[in-house]
Structures are given as C-alpha cells and as structure tokens.
Amino acid sequence: MRGRGVMGLAGRALPALALAAVLTAPAHAETGAIGVQLRDVPTTARLDPRARLYIVDHVAPGSVLNRRIQVSNTTAAKTRVAIYTAAATIAKGTFVGSDGHTRNELSTWTSVRPHSSAIPAGGRRTAVVTIKVPRDASPGERYAVVWAETRATPPAGGGITQVSRVGIRIYLSVGRGGPPAANFTVASLTAKRSADDRPMVLATVHNTGGRALDMNGTLRMRNGPGGLNAGPYPANLGVTLGIGETEPVTIILDRRLPAGPWHAQINLRSGLLERSSRAAITFPGAKATSSWPPLLIAGLVCLLALLLTIATLLIARRKRATSPT
C-alpha cells in the first residue's frame, strides 16, 4: 500500500499453530509439514497481535498493498507447493476458507509471486502477496485466504490424490479516512449445569463495531465459599465474530467446584480491544445420585436375576410333580 510503512518479522519465531491461520490435514504429517508465516506487519499496527498473524489492514480505493509470506518445508523430501488466494467467509463464529480456487471480490484483487515453488527438505521460500484495490471499490470489509497447497502423487494405476493446505487469513477493510472502529459487548453472566452435571457459565458476545473480531478470553471465579478463588478458565466461543454477529460463550468448570455464591468475571479480547463483564452467580444444585457403588448395584441386579430364574424353575418343577399322569 502506498504511503504506509511495513515492518519485517524476519527471524521472529511465532507459534506454529497461531501462524497456521487456516489448516487442513498437514502435508506429510508423519515426517514433517508445510508451514506458512507472515513476514511483514504495518508499522501502524505493530502492537496489534492480529496483524502479526494475519493480513489485516484498512485501505482507500485505488491502493496497492504488499505483504511478504514465508513458506517452509519440514518434511524429509523436496516438495512442490502451489501458492494462491481463494475466497473466505465468516459464518456462525468461524472463519471459513473456501474449497479449491473459489473466487470472491478480494481474491480477484490479490496475486502471489511466485505462484508455485519446489521447496527442498528443510528449506524456505519467500513469496509476495499483492492486493490491488480498484478505484471504484465500494466501502466495506472483505475476507480471503492465501493458501500454500501440496498434492500427493496417486499410486500407479489410479487412486486418491491427497491435497493438504495451510494458509494465512486476509481481513481487508476498504474506505476513505480512518478504519471503522472495532467494538463488542458482553451480556450478563448466567450460572447453569451441563448435560453431564458440570457447572458452567454462559454469556453472549455481540460484535457492535465495523470490523470482524478474533475472540479469546478467560473466566475467573473469586470470593467463593470459604474465600475460595478458581481459574482462569478458557472461554469456549467462535474463533471469529463477523460484523453484527452474536455468538454464545460457554465456560465449562471443574465438577468439584462448590455451588457458590461466587463473584465471576469474564475478560474477552480481540487484538488490542478488551471487554469484561462481572456478576454474582450461584450454580444450581447437582442432580441427586445414588450413594451405592456402581459395582455393588450391578452385583445386586445379577443376584436378583439369578433368584428370579431359580424361583421360576422351582415353580415349574412343582407343577410337574402335582400334575395327574
């Protein structure tokens, strides 16, 4: 993009799972894998964790944006890797990269050089992703993914070709002026019990801003019975929250946790944006369960069945003994 500095991440080791923004079955998983890593981040977003993992930016119509990515091969053999862009969507709290070379508006604006490379075992290759936004592009946020793909050679005589892909997400906002503000709200917390009778806390997060959000967070329990504190517990929610979407947050807790009362606080964040919600909660009573050990119950059932069988045989024998010949 013109007029915007870009900071390189060469030599910076980032978590492999975080860098694999979209992942299907790993290539040659038994001996290694194909990985992809973002090498550049805008200087204006250097503090945003999302910008270090994904291509996240806001540009004006007519802008050109360039990002370097690095594709690595940790398998034991030289591997041909195809690098290309495809459409992506956000639905039900999940960022979904489309199958194959499915296109959308953003993917048609995006090109990769080189589009294919033979990477030796243990080797790396750098590719440049270029996004050329048309001058008449309408405002709004768009999504795509840069794929690094390998294909296994099918066995002689025919067979199934295995395709493995790993990729980096693209979140591109288009519009004049500054980027739309990101924002979200967290609804009040509710204490419940799961189907298997474990205590759980429910909340709801709503994206009220103009950018998609990649959510994560934790729940802490304080001032419980006897002054107990518990947590932090990871929040289980959709990975990505689209603009205007609402998704549930479910936190499953330890079965041994007392019913309460507790002071609960959930902290959720996306990039540099963070929100929290607090509530005094008490979990419903646990379902009544038998105090008898399961093996004892099973033994009693077997004994009753045996006694019933013996009684049936005795009655039958008595009937035969008293019947007229």
- How many Å from the N-terminal Cα to the C-terminal Cα in the chain? 108
Provide CB contacts within 8 A for 177, sequence distance 6+: none
CATH architecture of the domain with residue range 184-281: Sandwich (2.60)
What does the domain layout of the chain look like in residue ranges? 6-174, 184-281
Cβ-Cβ contacts under 8 Å for 65 (sequence gap 6 or more): 1, 55, 57, 59, 130, 131, 133, 172
Question: In one letter, which amino acid is 237?
Answer: L
Asked if residue 182 lies in contact with residue 210, where contact means CB atoms within 8 angstroms, the answer is yes
Contact between 250 and 215 (Cβ < 8 Å): no
Report residue 125 as tokens: 């290759």
CA 321 – CA 315 distance, rounded (Å): 10
Write the secondary structure of the chain as one string of H (helix), E (strand) and C (coil): CCCCCEEECCCCCCCHHHHCCEECCCCCCCCCCEEEEECEEEHHHCCCHHHHHCEEEEECCCCEEEEEEEEEECCCCCEEEEEEEEEEEEECCEEEECCCCCCCHHHHHEEEECCEEEECCCCEEEEEEEEECCCCCCCEEEEEEEEEEEECCCCCCCCCCCEEEEEEEEEEEECCCCCCCCCEEECCCEEEECCCCCEEEEEEEEECCCCCEECEEEEEEECCHHHCCEEEEECECCCEECCCCEEEEEEECCCCCCCCCEEEEEEEEECCEEEEEEEEECCCCCCCCCCCCHHHHHHHHHHHHHHHHHHHHHHHHHHHHHCCC
For each successive 10 residues of the chain (325 residues), what is the average pLDDT? 47 33 39 86 77 92 95 91 95 87 95 93 95 96 95 71 87 93 90 90 93 92 91 81 90 89 93 91 72 65 79 72 54
Read off the pTM. 0.74
User: CB of 15 within 8 A of CB of 35?
Assistant: no
Give the separation between CA 40 and CA 60, rounded to whole angstroms.
Answer: 20
Residue 315 CB burial class (10 angstroms; 0-12, 13-18, ≥19)? exposed
pLDDT at 126: 95
d(CA 18, CA 107): 22
pLDDT at 281: 92
The pLDDT assigned to 9 comes to: 46
State how far the Cα of 10 lies from the Cα of 129, in Å rounded to an integer. Answer: 16
Q: How far apart are CA 309 and CA 320, in angstroms?
A: 17
What topology is assigned to 6-174 in CATH? Immunoglobulin-like (2.60.40)
Q: According to the model, what pLDDT value does residue 25 have?
A: 35
Find how far residue 240's CA is from the centre of its chain.
8
